[in-house]
Structure formats: C-alpha cells, structure tokens
Structure 1
Amino acid sequence: MPPLLTSSSVPALPLAAWSRYRLRVAASNAASAPDGAGATARCTSTGGFPSFLPGAVERIRDGAAIRLAKRIERVPVQASRFLPIYCAVVRSNAQWLSLNLSYLHLQTSFSGSAISSSCVRPLKQQQDGDPVVLLHGFDSSVLEWRYTYPLLEEAGLEAWAVDILGWGFSDLETRPPCDVASKREHFYQFWKSYIKRPMVLVGPSLGAAVAIDFSVNYPEAVSKLIFIGASVYSEGPKDMTRMPKFVSYAGVFILKSLPLRFLATRLAFKKTPNEFFDWVQIGRLHCLLPWWEDATVDFMIRGGYNVINQIKQVKHKCLILWGEDDGIISSKLAYRLHQELPDAILRQVRQCGHIPHVEKPREAAKHVLEFLARNTSDKSDQSPSEPSDKSDQSPSEPSVVVNR
C-alpha cells in the first residue's frame, strides 16, 4: 500500500518561500486541541470514529480516510426556511389586461432551529491569510479530501472541509429542503457563524457549480475561487422534475448500489487504484445515513444546479484545475470556462482523471499553493503547465508541475 495511506503523517510538500515561515500544523496533532472542544459533536464510538458515522466506517482500511473521518464533527448551523408567496403582476395596454402570478421565495430564519452540520475544522484558526474552504462533488462528502487536506494543513493553511447540505454526514432527521437555494443559504449561515471572513472557496466537479452560485450571491464572502474538474455546464436533472416520486426514489436507490458506484469510481480515475474497493466504500459511506434518499430526491426533483448564466458574473480571481484524462467532463469545457471567466488561469494535471485531489494530491496541493501565492492573475498565462518527469507516479507520490 502506498506510504500516504499507511503512515501516520504526510511527507512534507516542497513549498514556495512565501509559506516557509508559516505555522506548520500536522494532522497527527489533533490531540493538542483544547479539552472539550467540540465534545458534543465528536462523541466517539469504540473505534475512535464520531458516533454519528455509519457503522461501515469501521471496515475502511485507507489510513488517510480513517484519520480524516475521526476529525469530522457536527456544528450547529442556523436553519433557513423558504415560504412560498404569490405576487400579482398586472400588465396592460390598449389591447389587453392580464394577471400573472409569479412564485417567489421569502427566506425566514427561525431562532432555535439549527441543523447539526458536518465538517472538518482546522486545528487552529489564523488571524492572517484567507481560510481555504473545501467543498466536494455531487453526492460526496468531506472524505473526498482525505489526501489533499493534510497537505494543505501541513503547508500552514487554515483549511476547512465542509459537507454541502443534503450530502455528507450532517443530521437531516428533520428533512430540511435540499434544493439549490437551501444549500446556498445553509452554507452562508455556516460561513457567517464560523469562518466570518473572505475565503478561498474550492469546488470540485459539481462543487464548482455550488461555488459559482454562492460567490455570485455572496461575493463579499469569497476572496478567490478554485475549480477542479468543474461541472458547470449542466442544466440539472430536468427530467426528474416531472417524474413521479416513486420513480425518483428508484433512481436514487440505483445511485447507491455497489455496481453503479464501482462504475463511477472506475470512470473517475485514469488508473484503477489498488485500493479500488476501499475507495468505493469511502465514496458510498454517507449514503448509508437514513435520510440520504430523501435529501437526494428532494434536490433532484427541484432541478439541481444550472449556473451557465452566472459564470460571466464571477468577478473573483480563479484557478481552473483539470485532469488531462478526465473521462467525465470534457477538457473542452475547461477551455470554455477559462475564456468565460474574466480573471482566471488554467492548469492541467497530466495523466490524471476527474478528481486530481484524490488521484494526484501532491500536484493538486502544489497548484493551490502557487495560486494563493500569486499577487496578480496574469490572463496571458493561459497554457496548461508542462509536466515534470514524475507525472506518472502513484497517488502517494504525484508529480509536481511548476507553473510558468
């Protein structure tokens, strides 16, 4: 098994001079956290895992996933509810008079109503530098960051990994709505309660659509954006909005099935990893929570994400990171996204599939660090970076590409 999956710490990542002076925090230092911090949210089982995780977590053998899973906690996030109101609009001219009813949403917050929301918090929050907040892809969880999170943390970044409402390991016993607007407002309440300052928002796959939607609606909460294998040109599962619910539940049941998860995992990576079955189990773990089906159906029958018209509204500096051999999202869309964003650079990860932060974590971390070190974004620097001779290494020792 590669060293990254078995060792108790991650080997040091070569850093730019700007970050060498910063505090180096190792994931293995979790024991140094203040006594009682997050005690309620981190009640542990006999294996040291949080008690709210499905029992199948005990069968995971991936060392990096085990370490990150033990750091997952739930924190209260103020719930928002959306009440439908009807607004009458009168249109008239000399020929006609019509009355249109438009369906609007009025957001209201109810004191005392909170969702126990899952995340991995930094061991120490910093006063200088922007926090880096890691989202995940469609129907995934914070465990997607099991390899790259420790590297960013060791580099001295204040890194957060956050489960998007409806996925991951949050407590959704009350079955809150999980449509796009609810996901956005839930994440905003999380940011407002715990992060409280502009952040570097990282969105892989569908998480890129989440990041775009959030940054356009709350630009003051974001300093920079990083997209990895961005899935931002889909118009959402429109067909499911017209389906009977029982058909939607049947589709979601298949989505959770092992055969489909095996296929999805195979498509996501350039090479089939030795830990293939374990990776499938990790990616499927959150599906074993009792409210997963309801939350997923609720999201899909409401239409999902459609951010095509929001892309050009993004004003932040952006990094677009793409796997050269992405078998899920065409690389043509990476170039399209680069052209449509006003202030973006594009970097390509050689011999890598859809999820560079899992398949090539060192390279992904290196690109993130270099992007954060840039004082200005040079739009003329458009071409993907050239690979080093080590681009065919295993996930535990990915290549380092130097940007030009």
Structure 2
Amino acid sequence: MPLVLMCSSPVLPHVPSARTLFRVSASSNVGAGASDGFPPFLPRAVERINDVAAIHLAKRIERLPVHTGFSKGPILSSCVRPLKQQESNDPVVLLHGFDSSCLEWRYTYPLLEEAGLEAWAVDILGWGFSNLETRPPSDVLSKRQHLYQFWSSYIKRPMVLVGPSLGAAVAIDFAVSYPEAVSKLVFIGASVYAEGTRDLTSFPKFVPYAGVFLLKSLPLRLLATRLAFKKIPDALIFFDWVQIGHLHCRLPWWEDATVDFMLSGGYNVIREIKQVEHKCLVLWGEDDEIISNKQAYRLHKELPNAILRQVRHCGHLPHVEKPREVAMHVLDFVGREKKDKAE
C-alpha cells in the first residue's frame, strides 16, 4: 500500500525565499483562524505553506454534516464543493490516495472547474480534515457507508468517481456496492492489487501505532515524496511539498483513525475488479516508481469496459505533476463538449 503525499506544481513561476518558507507559526495546533482566510479547523501549520494553489484550495475546504449508522451524531466531513451545482452534467467527485487529503487536487481541481464541470473534492473518512473527535470507525465498511451518505445527502446524482492510488480501491469497492451512484470511473496510478493490511490484524495495538509514528516521520515523508514524482525541484519547494502532505497528520485523531484502518485489514478489491460494469478510464504515469505501470495493462484487461491512457514523463501522481494532461483526459472521457470549452 503506497504512501501518497502531495506536491506543488513544478511549473510554478514563484519560488519562495528561505525566510518565507521556513518561518515559524505561533502554534501547530488546530485553528488557523478565519482572519487568515483559512477555515478555523485546519492546523495552524497551514500558515507556513507557500504553495499558492494549495493556499487557495485550503481556503475553500469546509465541513458538511454527514449522518451515518455507525456514529452517534453527524460527522462533520471535509470537502471542497463546487461554487455552483448543475443538473445537466454528471458531477465529478475526486477522492485521494492513502493517508492524504483533498489538497492533492489543488492543481487539477481548478482546471476542471474552469472547464465547466461540477467538481467535488472529498476527504475519505479517517484521512483529510474531517472532525473525528468521537473516533468513529475507519474500516472499509465505514468508509464506504460514509461516502454513500455524503453522496446521498449532497450530490444525489450519478457521479464520475475519480480515485488515485488507493483511492482507486475505494472507488471500486464503492461502485460495486452502490452501482446506481456512479456513472463512470477514473483510476489514476491505481493501487488495487494489494491484499490489504492483513498481516497487522494479529499484532497487538502498539505495533501499528509504532508504524503510524514512522509514517508521520520526516525521513519517511521525504522518501515517499521523492518516489512519487518523476521530476523534483529545488530543496525549498520540495520541503513545502512535504509540509502540505503532512498537514492533515497534525489533527489529534489522525493516529487513531489510521491505526483503526490498518487493524481492520484495509482494502482488498482484487476479486471485485471484474464486477465493475461502468465505463472506466485508466490513467498511469509512465515513470511511476511506486506502482509499476505494468499493473495498468493488467487493470485495463480485467475491467470489462475500460480505456487506457499513459502520461509521459510522469510519476505516481499525474494529477499533481501533469494536471493539464489529466484534466484534458478527464474532460475527454466525460464529454467532448467540455474538452472543447477547456481548450
């Protein structure tokens, strides 16, 4: 199961100074404050981020109440929702990878929105910036039910569900369980052939907590970020990438939610792939060092109704590294009219 972090676009014209990049905020606790334009539930470390696209998208994150059968009260669930909902086209719902957040979409989301799509970026239960103070379960079943209740409460129409990395497993699991909620599927660098975290289910709790402590560590974050992309910019921007990918880990319930997911066994959708009846787009970076693009051909072959597109000179996260190419592929997949508008 790959660790997926987020990054800034390598084509940004602005390179922050060392003084700006490494300034220290007053606190890393939750509560950036409305005076900064950020929602108050984000960790204060968001103030240290210099990535303009990340800042813009972070300011649009909100929490919507989602009622589920496994939580006493509604879960305030984080997402970025469209400025205007439509009725004529299917909404596009963007998931994210393992241990990530909706900030993963900060470059592609604006492109899709500017092209006229109704785009949602939704945090998967247990990750992102939702309020999990009551510690609801974060196993596969809970993630699936939470996404369904989010969909039925706010989206309410068949959606184009987009899943990068482990988000592809989330999308397959959801589409097989609730086919009526999905019109099409897009998989990006899909992590769908892992057999979950079964090896951890028999260990005492301190073992996965130790693993989560390592997962949060700076050396592992640096390594994972380096592996996720084909091209790495200078050290200052690279460190900013790591800060963005680490932001959601500062929420006080992140460790408990991640351990709960790991102890539950994680995702194993290998047998469900051939059950997917929806039309699918499989996108893959040709230079993916986390999940071999050989799996792209296997997934394309096993899905009953799929097309395959490769993104050249690109690593594991094409929607961050090559956002314009990904946006064009999605627009072409959703409909030619939207693609023409984008051009």
Using the size of structure 1 for normalisation, the TM-score is: 0.75
Which residue number corresponds to residue 70 of structure 1?
59
- Structural mapping, 1:85-234, within 5 Å: 113-234=73-194
List structure 1 segments (4+ residues) > 4 angstroms apart after TM superposition: 1-7
Residues in 2 aligned to 1:3 and 1:324: alpha-carbon distance in whole angstroms = 19
Using the size of structure 2 for normalisation, the TM-score is: 0.88
Residues in 2 aligned to 1:256 and 1:2: alpha-carbon distance in whole angstroms = 24
Which of structures 1 and 2 has the larger relative contact order (alpha carbons within 8 angstroms, sep 6+)?
2
Matched, 1:323 2:285: yes
Q: Specify the SS of the correspondent of 1:370.
A: helix
The one-letter amino acid paired with 1:320 is: V
Residues in 2 aligned to 1:151 and 1:265: alpha-carbon distance in whole angstroms = 23
Counting strand residues as a fraction of each chain, which structure ranks higher? Answer: 1
Unaligned runs of 5+ in 1: 8-41, 82-108, 376-401
The one-letter amino acid paired with 2:271 is: N
The one-letter amino acid paired with 2:39 is: P
Counting helix residues as a fraction of each chain, which structure ranks higher? Answer: 2
The one-letter amino acid paired with 2:37 is: G
- Residues 293-350 of structure 1: CA distance to partner in whole angstroms, max 9, x if unpaired? 0000000011000000000000000000000000000111100000000110000000
Q: How many residue pairs align between the two structures?
A: 313
RMSD: 1.9
Which residue number corresponds to residue 352 of structure 1?
314
Which residue number corresponds to residue 247 of structure 1?
207
Q: Is the Cα contact below 8 Å between 1:6 and 1:64 reproduced in 2?
A: no
Q: Specify the SS of the correspondent of 2:69.
A: strand
Which residue number corresponds to residue 23 of structure 2?
none
Q: Is the Cα contact below 8 Å between 2:127 and 2:257 reproduced in 1?
A: yes
Residues in 2 aligned to 1:5 and 1:174: alpha-carbon distance in whole angstroms = 42
- Residues 162-199 of structure 1: CA distance to partner in whole angstroms, max 9, x if unpaired? 00000000000000000000000000000000000000
Distance 1:217 1:57, change over 3 A: same
Please, which of 277, 295, 305 is the counterpart of residue 239 of structure 2? 277
Which residue number corresponds to residue 19 of structure 2?
none
Unaligned runs of 5+ in 2: 1-8, 16-30, 338-342
Identity %: 77
Residues in 1 aligned to 2:103 and 2:69: alpha-carbon distance in whole angstroms = 26
Matched, 1:340 2:302: yes
Give how far 1:4 is off: 4.6
Residues in 1 aligned to 2:114 and 2:214: alpha-carbon distance in whole angstroms = 39
Q: Specify the SS of the correspondent of 1:51.
A: coil
Give how far 1:44 is off: 4.5
Matched, 1:51 2:13: no
Residues in 2 aligned to 1:140 and 1:5: alpha-carbon distance in whole angstroms = 25
Q: Specify the SS of the correspondent of 1:231.
A: coil
Q: Which has the larger radius of gyration?
A: 1
Residues in 1 aligned to 2:34 and 2:127: alpha-carbon distance in whole angstroms = 22
Residues in 1 aligned to 2:99 and 2:132: alpha-carbon distance in whole angstroms = 15
Q: Is the Cα contact below 8 Å between 2:163 and 2:169 reproduced in 1?
A: yes
- Residues 132-153 of structure 1: CA distance to partner in whole angstroms, max 9, x if unpaired? 0000000000000010000000
